[in-house]
């Protein structure tokens, strides 16, 4: 097994500068009926755009990542995919122009619940409309239109980003030449929906949440901390924690009801750290968007509304699907299922399965096993 005692961790930060902002001044109609009077999308880029504008790789982020995938002069802090993007990296900026956006609904420069509603001049809070993965990629398409980019060399993402990568290729098949979906699925399954539901309940049960209208007041720290602790359990794996923490106690003192074992201390640290970086309402809305995701068949939902947009049968570009055997949040059978469904739909699929102890976070940590299949597909 890979050595995990050093405890590799993803590189996230609260991004407040160093990005560009695309402003869309027209009303943006969301898939479930809400309307944003306008929207902003934060984005960063690396490499040089070719004269033909045919070398663009669009990166899609997971739930809590910003547009800062790699360091640059305007923000030298390491990005969340620092070793994956750059000169000579799997996504080689000597060849490709790489764009990464903050999610619609996020809190790192893009319009989200913490943004000021131009109609009321106060934060949207829970007046923010329900959004979907399709809404997120439609906002990205507006940015690409603004930049004059008609087609992507590749659409690349993991976790929620993998969902976006699939959705973009489904609703705009003529604009994507190849796609990469890592640790995602064709739709959200009941187990992951249940996990995210309980996390949202933890946030909303905090008395400081105030029905989402906590801006300028005390922050629902306790609820978001518990939610992130639950999420962290799904991001990593039991085998890693057994090797990394075992049953070690945090101190030699008598047992306590709070942080007593080292693994508990680790979860508490991750929860507190996240509370300093992320907006709780963004957590609620984006996790709900993950629950609503289903690209298996756009005409056959469980709800009464006929969903708009494309499905797997609309995808026309070759795809790389990557799964991780130790993933708890998106178990590897879901990537196998996705690859199988795509092949049945006539899509050319390369499937890669990784044996790693790092669970869902493998896509942030394992450079060689994750990066090399991406390099091969892009080149």
Decide if 107 contacts 65 (C-beta within 8 A): no
Decide if 355 contacts 1 (C-beta within 8 A): no
Going from the C-alpha of 259 to that of each of 4, 224, 233, 234, 262, the distances in angstroms are 22, 17, 15, 19, 8
Which of 64, 115, 159, 183 is catalytic? The answer is 159
73 is catalytic: no
In the structure encoding, which two tokens stand for residue 343, read together? 């092949």
Which of 188, 287, 360, 361 is catalytic? The answer is 360
Decide if 86 contacts 96 (C-beta within 8 A): no
Q: Is 143 helix (H, G, I), strand (E, B) or coil?
A: helix
Alpha carbon 272 to chain centroid, angstroms: 20
Closest to 139 measured CA to CA, from 24, 235, 278: 24
327 is catalytic: yes
Q: How far apart are CA 140 and CA 134, in angstroms?
A: 10
Going from the C-alpha of 357 to that of each of 3, 210, 288, 366, the distances in angstroms are 9, 39, 28, 10
159 is catalytic: yes
Q: How far apart are CA 58 and CA 238, in angstroms?
A: 33
CA angle 103, 43, 321 (to 5 degrees): 60
- The DSSP output letter for 245 is T
Which of 155, 327, 352, 356 is catalytic? The answer is 327
Q: Which residues are marked as active site?
A: 159, 327, 360
């Amino acid at each position: 097994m890979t050595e995990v005692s050093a405890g590799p961790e993803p590189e996230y930060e609260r991004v407040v500068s160093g990005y560009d902002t695309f402003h869309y001044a027209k009303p943006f109609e969301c898939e479930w009926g809400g309307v944003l009077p306008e929207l902003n999308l934060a984005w960063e880029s690396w490499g040089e755009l070719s004269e033909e504008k045919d070398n663009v790789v669009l990166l899609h982020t997971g739930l809590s990542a910003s547009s800062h995938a790699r360091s640059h002069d305007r923000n030298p802090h390491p990005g969340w995919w620092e070793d994956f993007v750059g000169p000579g990296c799997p996504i080689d900026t000597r060849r490709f122009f790489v764009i990464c956006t903050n999610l619609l609904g996020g809190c790192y420069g893009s319009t989200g619940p913490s943004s000021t509603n131009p109609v009321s001049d106060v934060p949207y809070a829970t007046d923010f409309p329900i959004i979907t993965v399709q809404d997120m990629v439609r906002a990205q398409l507006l940015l690409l239109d603004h930049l004059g980019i008609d087609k992507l060399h590749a659409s690349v993402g993991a976790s929620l980003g993998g969902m976006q990568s699939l959705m973009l290729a489904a609703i705009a098949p003529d604009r994507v030449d190849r796609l990469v979906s890592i640790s995602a699925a064709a739709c959200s399954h009941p187990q992951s929906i249940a996990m995210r539901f309980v996390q949202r309940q933890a946030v909303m049960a905090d008395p400081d949440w105030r029905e989402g209208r906590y801006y300028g007041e005390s922050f629902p720290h306790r609820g978001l901390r518990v939610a992130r602790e639950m999420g962290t359990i799904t991001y990593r794996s039991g085998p890693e924690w057994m090797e990394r923490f075992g049953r070690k106690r945090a101190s030699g003192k008598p047992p306590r009801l709070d942080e007593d074992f080292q693994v508990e201390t680790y979860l508490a640290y991750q929860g507190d750290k996240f509370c300093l970086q992320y907006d709780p309402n963004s957590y609620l809305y984006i996790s709900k968007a993950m629950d609503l995701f289903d690209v298996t068949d756009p005409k056959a939902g469980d709800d009464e509304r006929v969903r708009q947009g494309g499905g797997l049968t609309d995808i026309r570009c070759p795809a790389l699907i990557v799964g991780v055997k130790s993933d708890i949040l998106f178990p590897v059978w879901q990537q196998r299922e996705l690859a199988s469904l795509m092949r049945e739909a006539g899509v050319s699929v390369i499937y890669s399965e990784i044996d790693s102890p790092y669970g869902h976070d493998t896509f942030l940590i394992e450079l060689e096993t994750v990066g090399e299949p991406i390099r091969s597909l892009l080149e």
